Amino acid sequence: MRQLFEDICPPEAIVAPAQLRLRDPGYSATSRDAGLLLRPDTTAMVAAICRTAQAQGIGIVPQGGLTGLVDGTATTADQIALSLERMTAILRVDPVQRIIVAEAGATLQQVNDAAARYGLMTGIDIPSRGNCTLGGIISTNAGGIRVIRYGMTRDNVLGLTAVLPDGTVIEDMNTLLKNNTGYDLKQLFIGSEGTLGIVTAAVLRLYPRPDTTGVALLSCPDLGAAQALLAIAQRMASGNLLSFEAMWPEYYALTSGLLCKGHEPLPPDAALKIILEVAGKDSDATEALLLSIFEDAAEAGHVADGVIAKSQTEQLAIWSIREDTDLIAQPLGAFLSYDISIEANEITGFLDRWDRARATHFPELDSFVFGHLGDCNLHVCMAVSPDTKQNRGPIDDIFYDTVTSTPGSSISAEHGIGLGKRKQLPHNRSPASLALMRQIKATLDPKAIMNPGKLLAEI
């Protein structure tokens, strides 16, 4: 396979299988199983690779930071992996228009660091920020911890460049907020998980970096109380409410126990723990705002206890309790992670049904729930052995039966479909929508070489 690409790619852009197997596979066990890894450094080189791959009928799996959680980067030996790891340039930051232009291999952290020099930031923030790439967050339409304030990735991309499977370069690097000139083609590549083309660069919106952020950790007796707290916080903080994250008791007990070792900011008990993050002019203002939210909610009985972080270190300590999700894997070596949306008034019923189903079918497994409660996005995780993870089908079936029998639910809030959720896709997409998706795929990728088998079971 290597010879096919040697005329197009210099030696440093080609990684042979033996070296490839030595690389960290990230969050998808088979992401390093490809027959070849190509690391182009220009859009033109990406286009040439696509042309050759299409002519030979070779599957291409686009890869970013490999932090995706639905096996979207899984490969087989007859495919090539294409990484944007050598395309990381920040091309432009415009503080007047508040935009940043970067190559798609730049990490979210690199993009934010460049924006920070102008007192700006992206609206997108996810815990994998140090590794996930611009191309990855665009292709998965990533969400994260600030969606309630700035929206999903889809709401933050102004333009992009994408290479189609036949090598055509769609350069749609719009930099304007307003540009009504027909079909919004960039949206085809946002959230399509690399199945329609390879994103090589993009233009993102930027926002003023808050002068200060304040973080509180609050204890709510139950979900109803937490939702009442959300309403109070939205009213009192208005546009300054950045994040509203929830940790159910088992999750908080596990991660705070492992991280804080007896010095937890709040005791692990039966209450739901909420992280509230607000923006403000200075630390006095954010503290005063958090305190008044706390007092109003406590007076109404929605909050039983709470702490307000007094320093950046205390803020990070609170956030790490929520973000160090990998700790779930510690006891058994692996974990299953489900990412769903449930309508606000259905969450309690859903969790009760899931607890009953789990106790009936898998009483030996513990379930840990946390997530972006401000936008009804729950993550349900279970510690399992690597072997159980390999053979997760029966657990998936019971879990998704519980999700799909819940009105107003989504099988994927923000992680996408990848390989893992194709079977459940019809829950959220009508037969007509699925047929149109297949038609779009067949039009842009008639030989089905672009991330084969992901998202849609067949074209």
Ligand X SMILES: Cc1cc2nc3c(=O)[nH]c(=O)nc-3n(C[C@H](O)[C@H](O)[C@H](O)COP(=O)(O)OP(=O)(O)OC[C@H]3O[C@@H](n4cnc5c(N)ncnc54)[C@H](O)[C@@H]3O)c2cc1C
123 is a contact residue toward ligand X (CB under 6 A):
no
Binding mask 142-161 for ligand X (x = CB under 6 A): xxx-----------------
Q: Which range in 135-143, 217-225, 420-428, 437-445 contacts ligand X by CB under 6 A?
A: 135-143
CB of 141 to ligand X, least distance (A): 8
Q: Looking at beta carbons only, is 91 or 398 nearer to ligand X?
A: 91
Q: Are 229 and 274 in contact (CB under 8 A)?
A: yes
Output the CA angle 97-103-104, nearest 5 degrees: 110
Q: Which range in 65-73, 283-291, 383-391, 441-449 contacts ligand X by CB under 6 A?
A: 65-73
Q: Looking at beta carbons only, is 248 or 294 nearer to ligand X?
A: 248
230 is a contact residue toward ligand X (CB under 6 A):
no
Q: Looking at beta carbons only, is 302 or 415 nearer to ligand X?
A: 415
128 is a contact residue toward ligand X (CB under 6 A):
yes
Binding-site residue total for ligand X (CB under 6 A)? 37
50 is a contact residue toward ligand X (CB under 6 A):
no
CB of 126 to ligand X, least distance (A): 4
Binding mask 170-209 for ligand X (x = CB under 6 A): -----------------------xx---xx----------
CB of 19 to ligand X, least distance (A): 18
How buried is 332 (Cβ within 10 angstroms: 0-12 exposed, 13-18 middle, 19+ buried)? middle
Indicate the residue whose CB is closest to ligand X: 136
414, 444, 445, 453: residue in contact with ligand X (rule CB under 6 A): 414
50, 69, 216, 237: residue in contact with ligand X (rule CB under 6 A): 69
54, 174, 315, 325: residue in contact with ligand X (rule CB under 6 A): 325
Residues engaged in binding ligand X (CB under 6 A): 27, 61-69, 72-73, 84, 104, 126-128, 131-133, 135-137, 139-140, 142-144, 193-194, 198-199, 325, 414-415, 451, 454
